[in-house]
A and B are shown apart, each in its own frame.
Chain A
Amino acid sequence: MKRISLFTICFIIFIGSWVFLQFVIGGVISKPIPNSVIGMYMALVLVAILVHVSVEDSRFLEFLRPIHETLVDDKYRVRRLVLVIAIPVLLTGFTYTNLAQKTPPPGDPRDAHPTPPLELKYKDEVIETMQKAQNPYRHYEKDDPEAFKSHVENGRRVYYDNCFYCHGDHLDGQGHFAHGLQPLPANFQDPGIIPNFQESFFFWRISKGGPGLPASGTPWNSAMPVWEDHLTQEEIWDVILFLSDYTGYKYRTFGEGH
């Protein structure tokens, strides 16, 4: 049995690392990794390989042998010819596409979870601190299911009279105006939205809308209206009840996990 050469092993490790970073970590496990980060990892891999092969002279020679043979040995004339054409062509093509690429527009870095202010306000009226503010109708859920139901129903009415154009019939952020908006309307069916925020956060986002965002949330881009201009406090709390009632997700409550 012919032994696999050290060079081939190193080559496989190198390519394998790249595939692992690009597709396994950056695809299967999590989101795609930026090319610059991949480049850094690959540089590390390369250094590790070089250190490994150059620790002993014999190993280094063993490593270099295939390269050496390809360069000089007459047995490998065909391989030499292929490489001497393929390597320059690849590098040339790479240089060309890199130069011909159009510059992309600057990104719009946006904090999707902006920090809320300390106080929850409706117009200029302070309701409570952001942490302590509660949905005043939430307690009906246990105390008076009938009253709770009527608040949810009112929330449903408010939602379909005002919100569904953008946030969609299914509360999935795919309303019939959504395709013209950037950032896209919030998707309440996303498990990362409702469970991560308190009801007071939602009240803040609804009442103050896009213009009420801090600069990190790019308030100039958001088409979310300032709903305190159109809706009463009760209507806002009711629509908050409706959102969780419809989707089945529960808002985060302060002190959870204790």
Chain B
Amino acid sequence: MLRKRIVLLSILLGFTLFISIQVFTQEAPEVSAKGKEVYEESCAHCHGTEGRGDGSAAENLLPKPRDFTRGLYKIRSTESGELPTDQDLFEIITKGMPGSSMPGWETQLKTDERWEVVSYIKTFYDGFKESETPPRQISLKDKIPYSDESVQIGKGLYTDLGCIECHGNVGRGDGTSAPTLTDEWGFRTWPANLAENWNFRGGSDTEDIFKRFIGGIAGSPMPAFEGDSFLHFGLTSEESKRLSVMENKDEMTPDEEEESGKLYEKMDEAVLVALDRVEGTELTPEAQKMYDDAMKIVYEKSWHLANYVKSLSPEKRPETAIGNNVLRSQYMAEDLPILGDEAWDTLQESYYPLVGQVVIEPRQFNPTIDSVRVKSFYNDTEVAFLFTWDDRTHNTEVEENEDTGTSYEDGIAIQFPVKPPKGPTDEKPYFLWGGKKAVYVWQWKASAQDQITELTVKGVNNVTVQEMQGDLSVKGEYNEGQYRLWVKRTLATDDKKDLQLESGVFVPIAFSAWDGANGDNDIKRVISSWYSFVLEPVPSSRRFIYPPIVALLTVGFLFGLRGFVLRRNAVSVETDTEQ
């Protein structure tokens, strides 16, 4: 009797265990031990051990490390709403994401280790297991090559599709929606500055741009312009043009009403087919053809747009090499050019990358200003500078905002030592706002754009506004996401606390900049190291005098030598005959 009960109880116990084991094993994803190990060693400190993007380093990062548990991946070769392919994940791990803190792991992890990580991060989101069909990929065939014509068409679309709302009129990420953007996790995010494509997270090739555009950037505010959400989906290019004309009228005539109504009907038909496709309904051959025809136009236009975006950036990132990156002010005999003068276009810019100030609290871990570009001219008495830097927002005052935090005033500071070092071993002031040795600073703020304050600074907490403010001519402006600041000063001043400039003398120069909307204020800012600035000596005329002299002397010497040898020969012949 008792035994029977024990048997029954054990069976029940076994059953219970079986169920609970079932439950737990369902929860635990199939983990590749190797992938888990590599992930925890190399990825978890940012992405978190559970893949939620909440590792210990995540706090100070923006863009935030990806949260793998929602299956939202920004950089994909797949259509909107689809998961990325394994290849997509592998490539991001291999190459990293420019402009973010995600590095490429090509040198650090072996190929098979990177693949193991791919399969491991997929376990954080059940959708990978559940999807029965492979994700639909964006077709890259029929690429339209880059041409001025294509860029022009793309430019029109850029406005028509509403890209300007976030990316701004000329693409510097300064659209009117830019300051309020957040991602699906509620973190602040900025639209890409299309003029700085070296920071594009998914790469800067035209194909990359095309894929981001068609597939969208999941989790971010960037929509997908695939299929039916494209402007005038289902219409031919001519019909679309015609419809745009009518739509842009304040009021249509009855004829136009009728004409546009027909076009709308045609669009609706195509749109419904596109929705059927997304919903997984099998399309009839006619519907499929209608869809394919419509998509052909979408893809064509998207290539034009990608070409336009490609055209907004320089071909490659400007050289950031430090040793050669001297700011050389060019001599001109006449008056120095003012802001907007064409003379500035004749000079090449010097590019100075700016990075977050992470030395002194409060630190800036997530800079939004990429760099400052500088040009300079001088004449016998004055020097003029043109500083240019991109900033998505124009902030001229302190503003409190519950959602995006307090924003401050934008600005820039140009820093020199008070006295140029006498030689390479002579001590310089500390690169970040001076120290024991003082720096001479021009501070410019967006609220007073035609004014610069001269400062003497001996460390971040020791800033003195100079009593004697020099006679600087200043003009600043903000336009389409870009600041331009023009400064002119005499080479020599009467103030001992000012830097005195002399032709041919190399002077250290460094920069600080503030993007108020990014919380930059006071010490929190972006900075540069010391670079060199020089009033490039007038190329001496000797270079036109000496070489011809050298030429003449050499020719003369050669003929002289021949003459000498000939004469000696003659003498020796004479002596020979005499003998």
Interface residues of A (CB under 8 A from B): 68, 71-72, 80, 83-84, 87-89, 91-93, 95-96, 99-100, 102-109, 156-157, 160-161, 164-166, 168-170, 172, 174-177, 179-182, 209-211, 215, 218-221, 223-225, 229-230
Q: Besides A92-B550, A223-B432, 15 other CB < 8 A contacts?
A: A71-B561, A83-B558, A95-B550, A103-B534, A108-B424, A161-B57, A164-B101, A165-B365, A180-B354, A180-B355, A180-B529, A182-B530, A220-B437, A220-B530, A221-B529
Across the interface, do B353 and A180 meet the contact criterion of CB distance under 8 Å? yes
* Chain B residues within an 8 Å CB radius of A107: 424
Please pick, from A166, A174, A223, the residue contacting B431 in the complex, using a CB distance under 8 A. A223
* Chain B residues within an 8 Å CB radius of A210: 359
Across the interface, do B354 and A105 meet the contact criterion of CB distance under 8 Å? no
* Chain A residues within an 8 Å CB radius of B540: 99
Across the interface, do A221 and B56 meet the contact criterion of CB distance under 8 Å? no
* Chain B residues within an 8 Å CB radius of A168: 103
* Chain B residues within an 8 Å CB radius of A220: 427-431, 435, 437, 530
Q: In whole angstroms, how far apart are the Cα atoms of A169 and B565 in the complex?
A: 72
Across the interface, do A88 and B565 meet the contact criterion of CB distance under 8 Å? no
Chain B minimum-CB-distance residue to A100: B543
Size of the B side of the interface (Cβ < 8 Å), in residues, is: 67
Q: In whole angstroms, how far apart are the Cα atoms of A91 and B549 in the complex?
A: 10
Across the interface, do B326 and A105 meet the contact criterion of CB distance under 8 Å? yes
Q: In whole angstroms, how far apart are the Cα atoms of A2 and B90 in the complex?
A: 65
Q: In whole angstroms, how far apart are the Cα atoms of A168 and B56 in the complex?
A: 16
Q: In whole angstroms, how far apart are the Cα atoms of A105 and B425 in the complex?
A: 13
Q: Judge whether B333 is part of the interface by a CB distance below 8 angstroms.
A: no
Please pick, from B359, B425, B546, the residue contacting A225 in the complex, using a CB distance under 8 A. B359
Chain A minimum-CB-distance residue to B437: A220
Q: Judge whether B60 is part of the interface by a CB distance below 8 angstroms.
A: yes
Q: In whole angstroms, how far apart are the Cα atoms of A172 and B103 in the complex?
A: 11
Q: In whole angstroms, how far apart are the Cα atoms of A8 and B89 in the complex?
A: 63
Per-position binary interface string of chain B over residues 43-59, scored 1 when its CB falls under 8 Å from any chain A CB and 0 otherwise:
00110000000011101
* Chain A residues within an 8 Å CB radius of B353: 179-180
* Chain A residues within an 8 Å CB radius of B529: 180-182, 221, 223
Q: Judge whether B539 is part of the interface by a CB distance below 8 angstroms.
A: yes
Q: In whole angstroms, how far apart are the Cα atoms of A96 and B543 in the complex?
A: 6
* Chain B residues within an 8 Å CB radius of A211: 430, 435
* Chain B residues within an 8 Å CB radius of A172: 107
Across the interface, do B558 and A91 meet the contact criterion of CB distance under 8 Å? no
Chain B minimum-CB-distance residue to A174: B103
Chain A minimum-CB-distance residue to B548: A92
Q: Judge whether B480 is part of the interface by a CB distance below 8 angstroms.
A: no
Q: In whole angstroms, how far apart are the Cα atoms of A84 and B355 in the complex?
A: 57
Q: Judge whether B191 is part of the interface by a CB distance below 8 angstroms.
A: no
Per-position binary interface string of chain B over residues 352-380, scored 1 when its CB falls under 8 Å from any chain A CB and 0 otherwise:
01111011110001000000000000000
* Chain B residues within an 8 Å CB radius of A224: 359
Q: In whole angstroms, how far apart are the Cα atoms of A104 and B202 in the complex?
A: 38
Across the interface, do B359 and A160 meet the contact criterion of CB distance under 8 Å? no
Across the interface, do B424 and A179 meet the contact criterion of CB distance under 8 Å? no
Q: In whole angstroms, how far apart are the Cα atoms of A220 and B429 in the complex?
A: 6
Chain A minimum-CB-distance residue to B428: A220
Pairs of residues from A and B, 6 with the lowest C-beta to C-beta distance, nearest first: A180-B355, A99-B543, A177-B355, A160-B57, A105-B532, A160-B45
* Chain B residues within an 8 Å CB radius of A87: 554, 558
Chain B minimum-CB-distance residue to A226: B359
Q: In whole angstroms, how far apart are the Cα atoms of A127 and B558 in the complex?
A: 75
Per-position binary interface string of chain B over residues 528-559, scored 1 when its CB falls under 8 Å from any chain A CB and 0 otherwise:
11101010110110110011101100110011
* Chain A residues within an 8 Å CB radius of B100: 176
Across the interface, do A99 and B537 meet the contact criterion of CB distance under 8 Å? no
Chain A minimum-CB-distance residue to B327: A105
Q: In whole angstroms, how far apart are the Cα atoms of A76 and B156 in the complex?
A: 70
Q: In whole angstroms, how far apart are the Cα atoms of A182 and B361 in the complex?
A: 21
* Chain A residues within an 8 Å CB radius of B326: 104-105
Chain A minimum-CB-distance residue to B549: A95
CB distance from B44 to the nearest CB of A (A): 9
Q: In whole angstroms, how far apart are the Cα atoms of A210 and B428 in the complex?
A: 13
Q: In whole angstroms, how far apart are the Cα atoms of A178 and B427 in the complex?
A: 23
Q: Judge whether B479 is part of the interface by a CB distance below 8 angstroms.
A: no
Q: In whole angstroms, how far apart are the Cα atoms of A218 and B551 in the complex?
A: 46
Q: Judge whether B569 is part of the interface by a CB distance below 8 angstroms.
A: yes
Q: Judge whether B322 is part of the interface by a CB distance below 8 angstroms.
A: yes
CB distance from A92 to the nearest CB of B (A): 4
Q: In whole angstroms, how far apart are the Cα atoms of A102 and B540 in the complex?
A: 11
Across the interface, do B358 and A225 meet the contact criterion of CB distance under 8 Å? yes
Query: Which one of A99, A109, A220 has the greatest number of beta carbons of chain B within 10 Å?
Result: A220
Across the interface, do A95 and B555 meet the contact criterion of CB distance under 8 Å? no
Across the interface, do B566 and A72 meet the contact criterion of CB distance under 8 Å? yes
**6 A-B residue pairings within 8 Å (CB atoms):** A88-B555, A161-B56, A165-B365, A179-B320, A182-B322, A229-B361
CB distance from B198 to the nearest CB of A (A): 10
Query: Which one of B60, B354, B550 has the greatest number of beta carbons of chain A within 10 Å?
Result: B550
Q: In whole angstroms, how far apart are the Cα atoms of A215 and B305 in the complex?
A: 54
* Chain B residues within an 8 Å CB radius of A109: 424-425
Chain A minimum-CB-distance residue to B102: A169
CB distance from B430 to the nearest CB of A (A): 5
Across the interface, do B101 and A71 meet the contact criterion of CB distance under 8 Å? no
Q: In whole angstroms, how far apart are the Cα atoms of A159 and B562 in the complex?
A: 74
Across the interface, do A165 and B547 meet the contact criterion of CB distance under 8 Å? no
Q: In whole angstroms, how far apart are the Cα atoms of A95 and B553 in the complex?
A: 13
A72-B562, A170-B103 known; A91-B551 Cβ under 8 A: yes
Q: Judge whether B301 is part of the interface by a CB distance below 8 angstroms.
A: no
Q: In whole angstroms, how far apart are the Cα atoms of A96 and B59 in the complex?
A: 57
Chain B minimum-CB-distance residue to A209: B359
Per-position binary interface string of chain B over residues 400-440, scored 1 when its CB falls under 8 Å from any chain A CB and 0 otherwise:
00000000000000000000000111011111100101000
Please pick, from A95, A164, A225, the residue contacting B360 in the complex, using a CB distance under 8 A. A225
Across the interface, do B536 and A102 meet the contact criterion of CB distance under 8 Å? yes
* Chain A residues within an 8 Å CB radius of B356: 165, 177
Q: Judge whether B162 is part of the interface by a CB distance below 8 angstroms.
A: no
CB distance from B59 to the nearest CB of A (A): 8
Q: In whole angstroms, how far apart are the Cα atoms of A29 and B299 in the complex?
A: 55
* Chain B residues within an 8 Å CB radius of A100: 539, 543
Q: In whole angstroms, how far apart are the Cα atoms of A225 and B365 in the complex?
A: 14
Q: In whole angstroms, how far apart are the Cα atoms of A224 and B359 in the complex?
A: 7
CB distance from B382 to the nearest CB of A (A): 22
Across the interface, do B554 and A88 meet the contact criterion of CB distance under 8 Å? yes
Q: Judge whether B108 is part of the interface by a CB distance below 8 angstroms.
A: yes
Across the interface, do B562 and A71 meet the contact criterion of CB distance under 8 Å? yes
Across the interface, do B430 and A219 meet the contact criterion of CB distance under 8 Å? yes
A105-B534, A109-B425, A161-B60 known; A84-B558 Cβ under 8 A: yes
